[in-house]
Structure 1
Amino acid sequence: MQSFRLGSISGFEIRVDLSWFLIFFLILWTFIGSVFPGNYPGLSQGTYIVMGVVTTLLFFASLLAHELSHSFVARAKGISVEGITLFAFGGVSRTRMEAETAGDEFQIAGVGPLTSVAIAVLFGLLYWIGTAAGWSVAVNGVTGYLASINLILAIFNLLPGFPLDGGRLFRATVWKITGNLKKATRIASWGGKFFSYLIIALGVVQLFGGLILNGLWLIFIGWFLNNAADYSYQQLVVRASLEGVRVRDLMTPAPETVPPNLMLRELVDEYFLRQRYQAYPVTEGDRLLGIITLNRVKDIPREEWHSRAVADTMISVEQGIVSRPEENMTQVLEKMAASGVRRVLVVRDGKLEGIVTANDIASWLRRRRDLGEKMG
């Protein structure tokens, strides 16, 4: 996931995915180009721009508050939350583990829509006060739309399709009844896919009815929900399949290493172009320093390859890319996701013993499936 750090709130790191910018400017353009001019004619273009910017920013602030509510309840339940990432259609709390009970899952999921309803009530109250007091049409327009949008957000999130909050509430209910998280997730994911097809179908109908912008939005949202339902279920299956599997079972032992003083030009010519590996551990004697990846080198201008060394480009061991042979593979998945490197170095007593990559995990899961082993 391509994202950058925005800051932190109460210890939760806030990151913004690049896809967020696409939706941000689409929503901004919709407000400025059609919504506000169509509903509040006669105002200046500058006023429409200010209304659009303020409404869009406060809408995403509302989404952030929605996600923060999930994170605060998860933390209260003993679930470690690394932070929140805002992306195309909202946000997601990055947790290190699933809820341990159906009750915890229900409370964590349920607080999000309640927060959106509370925000809708707040803006609705401001709209009512502003209308009664004769505030500016621009101010009342912003508060009125924010009240409506947050109410719609709460209702949409309550649809019983995973991974929406309503789908998580549904999953928690099925989990409580069956006692089986995987089965509950599968059923909730089916619900998510069903609703995604309904939303896409409604979008197609609106397209043929002449409501092109509305139709495209619905198709886009339905497509996203469909992919999210698939991804969420597959993620659970992978985690369940790797539960109890140790790093030593999947690692490639004694990987080839490179020295820290090697120039990038030599690294490319002698290693990346001659061998199949996409990354190499960096060692100095018996001491592990970090890892150098092909993507890391690609980010460096070619004219610097002759003068820049591996030590100046590598990802250091302090950045969470190290694991122990006896560690559970589910922990490795979390480290890969947190570091973005897609591989970890296996170390015992400070010495490099092996490496595990995302491809190693995928190959192991594929072999297990081909041999007829039950996944999860």
Structure 2
Amino acid sequence: MTAKKGLKIASLAGIPIYVSWSWWFFAALIMVVFRPTFSQALPDASTAWTWAVAAFFVLIMFGTVLIHELAHALAAISFRWKVNEVTLNFWGGATIYEHSSTGKEQTPLRSLTVAIVGPISNLVIAGAAWLLLQVLLDPSGTAQVLLTITVWTNLLIGIFNLLPGHPLDGGRVVESSVWAATGSRARGMRAAGWSGRVIVLLLFVGGVLVPLLQTGELSPFTLVIIVLLGAMLWQAASAAIKTAEAQLLAERLTIIELMTPVQTVLSHASISELIPLLNGAGPGREYQQLPIAVLDLNEHNGHEVLVGIVDSGALASVPRSAWNLPVSTVSRTVNPGAQVHSSDTVEHLFTTFMEFPNEVIAVIDETQVPHRILGIINPETLAGRLNA
């Protein structure tokens, strides 16, 4: 099965595992770069055999990265969080997970646990490979070469991922530590973003400037890798800082101040019943107004439930002769589970966004019985306000 994100190779505990198209380029690059190393380490081996060893090393790297990402995924599952996918790509891999209201609450310690198990898995692999080296009968053969390079690559991957900066796993350690100390996850994210930028600068100094000053030479391949890696890390760190700043701004406000008020109509109403809600500003402008929320009533307690938002474009295209149609024909369906209470913290709002990405969030007044819908929070609208 193929998709834009790559080739789906398996599913574990309901988690799809993809291999992105960029990973195949990574695999070819690894073979080309390491084949000369295997030729030197195995001087009696044929060219074909060294290519075969390089291909086998690619499989080892594949398994190493997969174990790293599955460690993240299984740790998240242990807290009953929702894991959407695991993807292997050019830079290693990514595990996409989000908090679920049915799972355990997100805390600094749990966030740190999910982050740190990935690098730990690499260090465990390195240790296991080193132990196997100690019992090898032939210390000069192919197995010895593969095990040795497995030890060093896993040590490198594990230590590199523990560097304290976003988007590396060590950045989550920084985020969790600052979150625990200040009570604000956004402050932790901002600190991890800034430390990620520092790591990029140190990477450039250590990988480019120091070799140039010492030898006056620098491998073009090394330069390209450092520039690409540094650009990726800097972009991710900068995005984290921007997101954190927006969340810190939002934390100074209340849910009521962040929401957009709405007018409401029941889902079984006809389009003609929307007309009194329109401001009548003239053809082409009559629908530029407050959103109109489409509601159902919970049959057990009478609470209002947001099930849709009237689409102004669809409404404008309906002729008067069709105004007897239900409002559902001119509304966008929303997830009725995506909701917060007006008294909730903004931190809880952002947790809800994580559980329902790109969904409109309903704001409920829980002080009244039955509960009422006060407004909505659209993630795109909110982002525009906070980043203005």
TM-score between both structures, scaled by the size of structure 2: 0.65
Poorly superposed stretches of 4+, deviation over 6 Å: 245-252, 285-289
1:196: how far off? 0.9
Residue 162 of structure 1: SS of its match in structure 2? coil
Q: Choose 1 or 2 for highest CA Rg.
A: 2
What are the Cα deviations for residues 314-363 of structure 1, in whole angstroms up to 9, with x where unaligned?
xxx9xxx8534964686677666xxxxx789x9xxxxxxxxx9xxx8545
Note if 1:180 corresponds to 2:192.
no
> What is the alpha-carbon distance in structure 2 between the residues aligned to residue 26 and residue 232 of structure 1?
30
Q: Which runs of 5+ in 1 are unaligned?
A: 259-284, 290-316, 337-341, 347-355, 371-376
What are the Cα deviations for residues 118-165 of structure 1, in whole angstroms up to 9, with x where unaligned?
1011112222322xx016622221111011100111111111112212
> What is the alpha-carbon distance in structure 2 between the residues aligned to residue 253 and residue 288 of structure 1?
8
Q: 1:49 aligns with which of 48, 51, 54?
A: 51
1:24: how far off? 2.4
Q: 1:22 aligns with which of 25, 37, 43?
A: 25
Q: Which residue of structure 2 aligns with residue 10 of structure 1?
A: 13
Q: 2:383 aligns with which of 319, 344, 365?
A: 365
> What is the alpha-carbon distance in structure 2 between the residues aligned to residue 362 and residue 48 of structure 1?
53
Note if 1:105 corresponds to 2:114.
no
What are the Cα deviations for residues 23-57 of structure 1, in whole angstroms up to 9, with x where unaligned?
2222222112x322233333211111111111112
Does the Cα contact within 8 Å between 2:138 and 2:144 map onto a contact in 1?
A: no
Q: Which moved more, 1:113-122 or 1:102-111?
A: 102-111
1:220: how far off? 2.4
Note if 1:254 corresponds to 2:311.
yes
Q: Structure 1 residues 333 and 255 mapped into 2: Cα distance closer, same or farther (>3 Å)?
A: farther
1:176: how far off? 1.4
Q: Which runs of 5+ in 2 are unaligned?
A: 263-289, 292-308, 316-324, 341-348, 363-375
Residue 85 of structure 1: SS of its match in structure 2? strand
Q: Which moved more, 1:231-240 or 1:19-28?
A: 231-240
Does the Cα contact within 8 Å between 2:246 and 2:387 map onto a contact in 1?
A: no
> What is the alpha-carbon distance in structure 2 between the residues aligned to residue 35 and residue 286 of structure 1?
70
Q: 1:128 aligns with which of 134, 147, 161?
A: 134
> What is the alpha-carbon distance in structure 1 between the residues aligned to residue 138 and residue 146 of structure 2?
14
Higher helix share: 1
Does the Cα contact within 8 Å between 1:323 and 1:332 map onto a contact in 2?
A: no
Residue 237 of structure 2: SS of its match in structure 1? helix
Residue 7 of structure 1: SS of its match in structure 2? strand
Q: Structure 1 residues 332 and 77 mapped into 2: Cα distance closer, same or farther (>3 Å)?
A: closer
Note if 1:218 corresponds to 2:226.
yes
Note if 1:60 corresponds to 2:62.
yes
Q: 1:140 aligns with which of 140, 144, 152?
A: 144
Does the Cα contact within 8 Å between 1:248 and 1:325 map onto a contact in 2?
A: no
Does the Cα contact within 8 Å between 1:200 and 1:223 map onto a contact in 2?
A: no
Does the Cα contact within 8 Å between 1:83 and 1:95 map onto a contact in 2?
A: yes
1:325-340 → structure 2 map (5 Å cutoff): 327=339
Residue 166 of structure 2: SS of its match in structure 1? coil
Q: Structure 1 residues 324 and 234 mapped into 2: Cα distance closer, same or farther (>3 Å)?
A: farther
Q: Which residue of structure 2 aligns with residue 307 of structure 1?
A: none
Q: Which residue of structure 2 aligns with residue 194 of structure 1?
A: 198
Look up the equivalent residue of 2:22 and give its one-letter code.
Answer: S
Q: Which residue of structure 2 aligns with residue 40 of structure 1?
A: 42
Does the Cα contact within 8 Å between 2:83 and 2:98 map onto a contact in 1?
A: yes
> What is the alpha-carbon distance in structure 1 between the residues aligned to residue 28 and residue 387 of structure 2?
43
Q: Structure 1 residues 105 and 24 mapped into 2: Cα distance closer, same or farther (>3 Å)?
A: same
TM-score between both structures, scaled by the size of structure 1: 0.66
Does the Cα contact within 8 Å between 1:199 and 1:221 map onto a contact in 2?
A: no
Q: Structure 1 residues 49 and 165 mapped into 2: Cα distance closer, same or farther (>3 Å)?
A: same
1:69: how far off? 1.1
Residue 135 of structure 2: SS of its match in structure 1? helix
1:96: how far off? 1.8
Look up the equivalent residue of 1:226 and give its one-letter code.
Answer: W
Q: Structure 1 residues 67 and 54 mapped into 2: Cα distance closer, same or farther (>3 Å)?
A: same
Look up the equivalent residue of 2:80 and give its one-letter code.
Answer: G
Residue 15 of structure 1: SS of its match in structure 2? strand
1:314-353 → structure 2 map (5 Å cutoff): 323-324=335-336, 327=339
Look up the equivalent residue of 1:230 and give its one-letter code.
Answer: S
> What is the alpha-carbon distance in structure 2 between the residues aligned to residue 17 and residue 232 of structure 1?
24
Does the Cα contact within 8 Å between 1:27 and 1:56 map onto a contact in 2?
A: yes
Q: Which residue of structure 2 aligns with residue 298 of structure 1?
A: none
> What is the alpha-carbon distance in structure 2 between the residues aligned to residue 94 and residue 73 of structure 1?
12
1:87: how far off? 2.0
Look up the equivalent residue of 2:54 and give its one-letter code.
Answer: G
Note if 1:232 corresponds to 2:240.
yes
Q: Structure 1 residues 335 and 178 mapped into 2: Cα distance closer, same or farther (>3 Å)?
A: closer
What are the Cα deviations for residues 165-204 of structure 1, in whole angstroms up to 9, with x where unaligned?
2221122122211111111111111111100111123333
